[in-house]
Amino acid sequence: MSSSVVTVVAPVNIAVIKYWGKRDEELILPLNDSVSATLDTSVMCAKTSVFASSNITCNEIWLNGKKESFSNKRLINCLDAIKSIAAKEKSVDDDFLSWNVRVCSVNNFPTAAGLASSAAGYACLVTALAKLYNLKSDVSCVARLGSGSACRSVYGGFVQWHAGTDPSGKDSVATQIAEASHWPEMRALILVVGDKAKKTSSTRGMNITAQTSELLKHRIQHCVPQRTTSIIQSIKERNFPKFAEITMKDSNQFHAVCMDSYPPFVYLTEVSHKIIEIIHKYNDLCGGIKVAYTFDAGPNACLYLLEEEVPKMISIIKHFFPSTTPDNLVTGLESTSELVSSDFLEKLAVTAETKKDLIKNVIYTKVGQGPTEVTDGSHLLDEHGLPLNNIE
Residues of this chain that interact with ligand DP6 (CB under 6 A) are 15, 18-20, 28, 34, 118, 147-149, 202-203, 296-297
Residue closer to ligand DP6, measured from CB, 206 or 330? 206
At closest approach, how far in Å is the CB of 203 from ligand DP6? Answer: 4
At closest approach, how far in Å is the CB of 120 from ligand DP6? Answer: 11
Neighbours of 391 (CB within 10 A): 15
Beta strands, E only, 232-317: 291-295, 301-306
Residue closer to ligand DP6, measured from CB, 297 or 314? 297
Cα 119 to Cα 131: distance, rounded to the nearest angstrom: 18
Residue closer to ligand DP6, measured from CB, 31 or 186? 31
Residue closer to ligand DP6, measured from CB, 251 or 283? 251
State the DSSP H helix or E strand holding residue 99, giving kind and residue range, or none if neither. none
Residue closer to ligand DP6, measured from CB, 28 or 310? 28
Q: Is 385 left (phi over 0), alpha (psi -120 to 50) or beta?
A: left
- Asked whether 281 and 350 are in contact (CB, 8 A), the reply is yes
Closest residue by beta carbon to ligand DP6: 148
Residue closer to ligand DP6, measured from CB, 94 or 166? 166
Residue closer to ligand DP6, measured from CB, 173 or 330? 173
Cα 181 to Cα 373: distance, rounded to the nearest angstrom: 20
Residue closer to ligand DP6, measured from CB, 205 or 387? 205
Which residues lie below 8 Å from residue 304, measured CB to CB, with a gap of 6+? 16, 37, 186, 187, 188, 243, 244, 247, 291, 292, 294
At closest approach, how far in Å is the CB of 361 from ligand DP6? Answer: 19
- Asked whether 16 and 294 are in contact (CB, 8 A), the reply is yes
At closest approach, how far in Å is the CB of 240 from ligand DP6? Answer: 21
At closest approach, how far in Å is the CB of 360 from ligand DP6? Answer: 20
At closest approach, how far in Å is the CB of 86 from ligand DP6? Answer: 24
CA distances from 220 to 30, 160, 254, 390, 392 (A): 11, 16, 11, 47, 45
- Asked whether 154 and 371 are in contact (CB, 8 A), the reply is yes
Q: Which amino acid is at 72?
A: N
At closest approach, how far in Å is the CB of 328 from ligand DP6? Answer: 28
Cis peptide before 225 (omega within 30 of 0): no
